[in-house]
Amino acid sequence: MEHVSDVAFWVALGKIIWVNILLSGDNAVVIALAARNLPSTQRRNAVILGSAAAIVLRVLLTLFAVELLHYPYLKIVGAALLFWIGIQLLIPDEGGDDGIQSSEHLLGAIRTILIADLVMSLDNVIAVAAAAESGPSSARTLLLIIGLGLSIPLIIFGSQLLMKVMERYPVIITLGAALLGFVAGEMLVHDRAVEQFFIGLGGATTTIVELAGAIGVVVIGQWLARRRGRAIAGEQASR
């Protein structure tokens, strides 16, 4: 447990928990939809067992993603994806249940939860893998297990409270999107293909790129959100 006294460990753990909570709202909705037709006595079991299976799957996928990020250029691709995910977080969602079918059987509900979580978890996997990269290399597996293990149950059992808090304080979502942009910048400068280039530019360059990523996500995301809002208002006015 030598990592307990390592500040980088706790910073990376905080990033993992935050981005996973921020990006897993849809997953919490999927779990509720998949189990809604079960008898009340089985609903809790479906949520717990389906979520446990989703946690194991998420850890395995993220470990795989962390290994892939060691190859040149893949962190650049991951940074671009993460930047876009952050922007999308600031654009209003049109809603809907994504066609999730509920089941009247426990195993069917668990299967639905697992498959839906797998399909919807690409953004989570990329973001969490990037956050883990900022921690001590020897502790990344531990970071993923603890971070995902803590955040997923929090999402499942506290999703309604989390959504109400985010609705009341939208700045939380904005700060979360900025964090994703910051992590995207962090990924970019540490890709093996360009790392030496950024090192040659000086130590301050890394911080500048990270801050540019954070600011860029917020500026572009809010601009696109306003643009969509005007388009929706125009459609409603023309009806």
102: DSSP letter: P
In whole angstroms, what is the distance from residue 35 CA to residue 8 CA? 39
State mean pLDDT over 122-141.
78
* DSSP code for 2: G
> Which of the 8 DSSP states describes residue 135?
S
Confirm if 86 and 19 have CB atoms less than 8 A apart.
no
Nearest 5°: CA angle at 227, between 128 and 180? 15
For the entire predicted model, the pTM comes to 0.70
The alpha carbon of residue 108 and the mean position of all alpha carbons in its chain are separated, in whole angstroms, by 26
Q: By mean pLDDT, which of 50-59, 65-74, 152-161, 177-186 is the weakest?
A: 152-161
Residue 172 clears pLDDT 90, i.e. is over it:
no
3-state secondary structure of 45: helix
Position with higher pLDDT, 193 vs 58: 193
Q: Is the pLDDT of residue 5 over 60?
A: yes
In this model, does residue 117 exceed pLDDT 90?
no
Condensed to tens digits (0 to 9), the pLDDT of residues 94-109 reads 554 445 455 567 777 7
Give pLDDT, residue 97: 47
> Does residue 190 carry a pLDDT above 80?
yes
Lowest mean pLDDT among 129-138, 147-156, 198-207, 215-224: 147-156
Q: What is the pLDDT of residues 21-72, one digit of tens each?
A: 777 666 666 666 666 667 777 777 777 777 777 777 777 887 787 777 778 8
Burial of 167 (0-12, 13-18, 19+ CB in 10 A): exposed
Q: Are 185 and 212 in contact (CB under 8 A)?
A: yes
Q: Any idea what DSSP says for residue 169?
A: -
In angstroms, the CA 66 to CA 137 distance is 10
